Amino acid sequence: MKLEGKVAIITGAGQGIGAATARKFAREGAIVVACDTNTDAVQSIAAACLENGSHAIGITLDVANRAAIDDMVHTVAERFGRVDILVNNAGITRDARLEKMTLAQFDQVIDVNLRGVFHATQAVSEYMVRQQAGVILNASSVVGIYGNFGQTNYAAAKFGVIGFTKTWSRELGPKGIRVNAVAPGFIETPILSTVPHEVIEKMRGQVPLRRLGKPEEIANVYAFLASDEASYINGAVIEVSGGMTL
């Protein structure tokens, strides 16, 4: 198993890509710390990880709350003795065109999708530097590379995550810590539940594979990047989009 005995914190683990990543890491032997604002969902995911034979716990967490993140990381380090992997997956959308976007919509997305990544990474970095080892994986998006109509806030945050990744890979690399980002394309997650059918069909048409991605396909990339098989990959942004940007 690729991640045998590794302690992995996964934010936004209650559904979608985060939940798939928690289950995949559990199958690969990791000790999974599943974090999400939805208590019932995160406890359910932790239970599913336990069924896969992994040690797992669920923690209710808002990544925009720095004090809560510090408490969570301290608790994990005290309980398991180390923190090996952080997957900064938590994210939200509050879409609107520029002229109609409210400050609240802008701030909410920046607080979770950008500032939350900063909070969690700064909190775990103390322990990883002490260990002289660790892996940090950040959720960006093809929107963070190419932009998207109606997503000023989301694009800014996901572009910022790429900047974090490039910077931290330089700062933390000499201390044995690898930092990479994954940029998914159109993925079948609950976030698409409110999108009209005709829009979904248009999205499929933009992908050469003529389908949307599955959360498990992103989780597989996270598991590879978190493993020793990716030991010389640092500062990369891996696009997983079925070729939609070609």
> Minimal CA–CA distance to 156: which of 167, 146, 144, 165?
144
Digits of tens for pLDDT over the chain (246 positions)?
899 999 999 999 999 999 999 999 999 999 999 999 999 999 999 999 999 888 999 999 999 999 999 999 999 999 999 999 999 999 999 999 999 999 999 999 999 999 999 999 999 999 999 999 999 999 999 999 999 999 999 999 999 999 999 999 999 999 999 999 999 999 998 877 667 788 889 889 999 999 999 999 999 999 999 999 999 999 999 999 999 987
Residues identified as active-site: 154
Q: Model's pTM, two decimal places? A: 0.96
Q: Which domains does the chain have, with CATH numbers?
A: 7-236 (3.40.50.720)
> Minimal CA–CA distance to 89: which of 112, 66, 72?
112
pLDDT reported for residue 175: 98
Contact (Cβ atoms closer than 8 angstroms) between residue 145 and residue 245: yes
User: What residue has token string 């998006």?
Assistant: 141
Amino acid present at 201: E
Measured in degrees and rounded to the nearest 5, phi and psi for residue 239 equal -80, 125
The edge-to-edge listing of strands for the beta sheet with 31-36 is 56-60, 31-36, 7-10, 85-88, 134-139, 177-184, 237-240
- The CA distance from 43 to 34, in Å, is 8
- The CA distance from 196 to 216, in Å, is 23
